[in-house]
Structure 1
Amino acid sequence: MIARLLLGIALVFAVPAAAQDTAEPPALAVLDSAQITPEEFLWTARPIVVFADSPADPRFAEQLRFLETDATGLIARDVVIVVDTVPSPKSAWRDALRPRGFALVLIDKDGQVKLRKPAPWTVREITRSIDKWPTRQQEIRETLGKE
C-alpha cells in the first residue's frame, strides 16, 4: 500500500517535470524591416519597430537586450519586433515612420502609431503601455469572458 502511494506521488511530480523539459517557450519574432511591410500585421500583431542608423548603436543593442528579458510578456500581447538599422535605401517602415537616429515605435493592431520613444524602454514599460490601449483592453475582456 505504501509502495503504491509513493509511486503515485512520484508520478505526480515526475510528469510535470518531464513536460517542462520537453516544452520550449515560444520565441519572440524578430524580423528585418527590408523583408516585410507594415500592412502585413494589420489586425494580427503589434509591431514594435526599433530603428537605428547602425547596428553598432549602443541604444539599439540595449533595446534588444531589454526585449529579450521577457519575451513571454510580449508574445502574450501578440508583439513582433521589427528592426531597421539601414537608413538607405529606405524601407517601407522608415518611409512611413520617418525616424531620426535611434527610435522605438509601438504600433497597435489597427496600424496606428501609439508611442514613439527616442530612448530604449524596458519590457515592463512597453507592456504597461500596451495594456492601456483599447484593442488590448478588448482582448483582455474577451479572455476573461471565456473563462
Structure 2
Amino acid sequence: MRRWLALVPALGLTLAAPADAQRSGTVTPLPPDTAELSDYRWSNRPVLLFADADTDAAYAAQRAALAAAAPGLADRDIVVLTDTDPQARGALRARFAPEGFLMVLVGKDGGVKRTETAPISADDLFATIDAMPMRRREMSR
C-alpha cells in the first residue's frame, strides 16, 4: 500500500490541508506524484522514510525512534513523510531510488542534508540538524 503520510510530529492523526502542513501536530497526506517538497520549504524539515513494505524492520525501528522523540521533532519543525509502496513509483521515490529502507533529511532550504540506509537515533538526527546554521539561528532567538 502506498503511504505518503506526514507525521508531524506523530502526536496525532488530524488531517490537515496542505497549507496547514507547516503547523506542528498535523498529519498531511502528500500526493504520490510530488516531485518537489516546496510546500515545506522555509518552514519545515522533511524526513523521508522509504521502505518496500510497512512491515520492514528498519522502517518500523526508525518510526518508533522518531515517535518516541515527538517533542524534539516539533521543536525542530520536522515533518516525517513515509512511502512504503515501491510499486507506485512516485516522483520522490524515483528521485532518491531507495533499495529497501532509506531515510533522507531535507533542510528547510530544500537541500538534502543526510541520507541513511539504516535507522538512526533521534539524538543523532537532532545533532545533524542542530549543527546547521539555520537551526543555530533559530536556537539563538
Could you tell me which runs of 5 or more consecutive residues in structure 2 were left unpaired when the two chains were aligned: 1-8, 12-24
Match of 1:72 in 2: 71
**TM-score, length of structure 2 as denominator length:** 0.75
Superposed CA offset, 1:32-67 (max 9, x none): 544583121111100001100111111111111101
Larger radius of gyration: 1
Contact (CA 8 Å) 1:30, 1:82: kept in 2 or not? no
1:41 aligns with 2:43: no
TM-fit CA distance, 1:91: 1.8
Higher helix share: 1
TM-score (normalizing by structure 1): 0.72
Structure 1 gaps of 5+ residues are 1-24
Q: Which amino acid aligns with 2:118?
A: A
**Match of 1:140?**
139
CA RMSD across the alignment = 2.1
Which one-letter code corresponds to 2:110 in the other structure?
A: G
SS of residue matched to 2:39? helix
Hey, what's the Cα distance between the residues in 2 that align with 1:36 and 1:90?
Answer: 8
Q: Which segment drifts farther, 92-101 or 46-55?
A: 92-101
Aligned to 1:51: 50
The Cα shift of 1:76 comes to 0.2
Residues matched between the structures, number: 118
Q: What residue number does 1:60 align with?
A: 59
Moved more, 25-34 or 131-140: 25-34
Secondary structure of 1:40's counterpart equals: coil
- Output the amino acid matched with 1:69: A
Q: Is the 8 A contact 2:10 2:67 kept in 1?
A: no
In structure 2, distance between residues paired with 1:59 and 1:26:
18
